[in-house]
Amino acid sequence: MGEGAVKRAAFPYLLLSPAFLFVVTLAFFPIAYSFWLSLHRIVFVLPHLGESFIGLENFARLLQDTRAWQALKFTLLFVGTTTLSELFLGLLLALALHQPIFGRGLIRAIILIPWAIPTVVSSQMWRFLFNDQYGFLNLLFFGNHPELYRAFLAEPISAMVAVMAVDIWKTTPFCALILLAGLQTIPQELYEAAKVDGAGRWRQFVHITLPMLRPTIVLALLFRTLDAFRVFDSIYVMTQGGPADATLVLQFYGYKKMFAEGLLGYGAAISVVIFLFSLVVSIFYLRLIFLKK
């Protein structure tokens, strides 16, 4: 092999190397490091204990950790409820916004507002709206009967509903935006042909819109599911996981273990669990997108 040939063969790798380095340092290395940490007992505030390798003990403890189980259950409930609701409502919104209505551009922009407000700010706003003394929601429901006013964030069930409702309020516009983009790629001719064949609006929707929108729907689901698994800021601001750990999510639990309590190994084990869940979900969705083709 001549020198030129070697150079030619190496050239593509050279071009790929910046991207490769980027992925390795920013994605693979932190993930691998989290795995490594999760196999150790590291208690930041007790340096005399050292950093002993304990194998899978953190995971074994995690299996017996009732708060972790509770967090997992609520996280799954949260992910399921919010993603499906956001997808459904987002689809309705997208279909409405796809119609040639007056002021469409402006409405599309306005609808995005909840999504554009930083979560910390909007969660704080909702915390006030849910308040039992001056909260607007109480005024809305009970009007001039302050003795009936309820503390929505004080009861486990209503607090769970509240944090999910806030997420749905906030992220439905995002789903709508993605689905709207999907709707716009569907060629108009298909609908015209369907009309010629005498198909009504419903049949057009079921047989053209939905199948054509499938990859976009899966994409939106993928984005939303991964994002919902990482929910943190709204919980942090609104409930801190309470009352009675009812709104505790895995990500917030891991954060508490790692940062507030300084249990690096245990916190990393929780991150690894979140990562594995996300990985499985991603593979499942990606297969849904690519299998058909």
Partner 1 sequence: MTRKAGILTLTIFLFTVTLVPVKAQTTLTFVTWKPSEPQLWDEIIARFESHYPDIKIRREIGPHSSTQFHDLLTQKLKNRDPEIDIFFMDVVWPAEFASAGWALSLDSFFSQEERQKFLSGAIAPNTYKGHIYGLPLFIDVGLLYYRRDLLEKYGFSVPRTWQELVSQAEFILKQEKDHQLTLKGYSGQFKQYEGLVCNMLEFIKSHGGAILLLNDGRALDAVRFVRDEIIGKIAPRGVLYYEEPESLALFIQGNAIFHRNWPYAWREFSDPTKSRIAGKVGIAPLPHFPGERSASTLGGWQLGISKFSRHPQGAWKFIDFVGSPEIQKLIALKIGKAPTRKELYQVPEILTQNPQFKVKQAFFGADPRPITPVYSLISHVLQSYFSQVISDPKSDIRTLADRATEEMRYYLSWEREQ
Least distance CB 235 / partner 1 (angstroms): 12
Nearest to 92 by CA among 164, 161, 172, 169: 172
Q: List CB contacts of 169: < 8 A, sequence separation 6 or more.
A: 114
Using CB under 8 A as the binding rule, the residues of this chain from 81 to 140 that contact partner 1 are: 131-134
The C-alpha atoms of residue 76 and residue 69 are separated, in whole angstroms, by 11
- Our finding on whether 233 is near partner 1 (CB under 8 A) is no
Residue 205 CB, nearest distance to partner 1 (Å)?
43
Amino acid identity, residue 28? F
DSSP E strands in the chain: the ranges are 40-41, 52-53
244: buried, middle or exposed (CB in 10 Å: 19+, 13-18, 0-12)? exposed
**Which residue among 129, 169, 199, 242 contacts partner 1 (CB under 8 A)?**
242
**How many residues lie near partner 1 (CB under 8 A)?**
35
Q: What's the rounded Cα separation, in Å, for the pair 250 and 267? A: 10
| Nearest CB to partner 1, comparing residues 213 and 263 | 263
Among 37, 93, 176, 263, the residue binding partner 1 under the rule CB under 8 A is 263
CB closer to partner 1 out of 227 and 245: 245
* Calpha distance 186→209 (Å, rounded): 7
Amino acid letter, residue 200: G
For residue 171, the minimal CB distance to partner 1 (Å) is 24
Residues 105, 227, 106: CA angle, nearest 5 degrees: 10
Closest CB to partner 1 among residues 155, 227: 155
Residue window 193-232: x/- pattern of binding to partner 1, with contact defined by CB under 8 A? ----------------------------------------
Does residue 108 contact residue 97 with C-beta atoms inside 8 Å?
yes
**By CB under 8 A, residue 3 contacts partner 1:** no
Distance of CA 274 to the CA centre of its chain: 12
At its nearest, how many Å lie between partner 1 and the CB of residue 130? 9
Contacts of 98 (CB under 8 A, 6+ apart): 180, 183, 184
Rank residues 61 and 230 by Cβ distance to partner 1 and give the closer one: 61
155 binds partner 1 (CB under 8 A): yes
**How near is the Cβ of 54 to partner 1 at its closest, in Å?**
13
Provide the β-strand partners of residue 52. 41
Q: CA-CA distance, 25 to 14, in Å (whole number)?
A: 17
Question: Which residue of 63, 240, 287, 292 would you call a contact of partner 1, by CB under 8 A?
Answer: 240
Binding flags for partner 1, 31-50, as an x/- string (CB under 8 A): ------------xxxxxxx-
**Segment interacting with partner 1 (CB under 8 A) among 92-100, 189-197, 223-231, 253-261:** 253-261
Question: Could you tell me the smallest distance in angstroms from the CB atom of residue 79 to partner 1?
Answer: 22
Q: How many CB atoms lie within 10 A of CB 68?
A: 21
CB of 262 to partner 1, least distance (A): 7
d(CA 178, CA 91): 9
Shortest Å distance, C-beta 32 to partner 1: 21
Footprint of partner 1 on this chain (CB under 8 A)? Answer: 43-49, 66-67, 131-134, 146-147, 150-151, 153-156, 159, 239-245, 256, 259-263
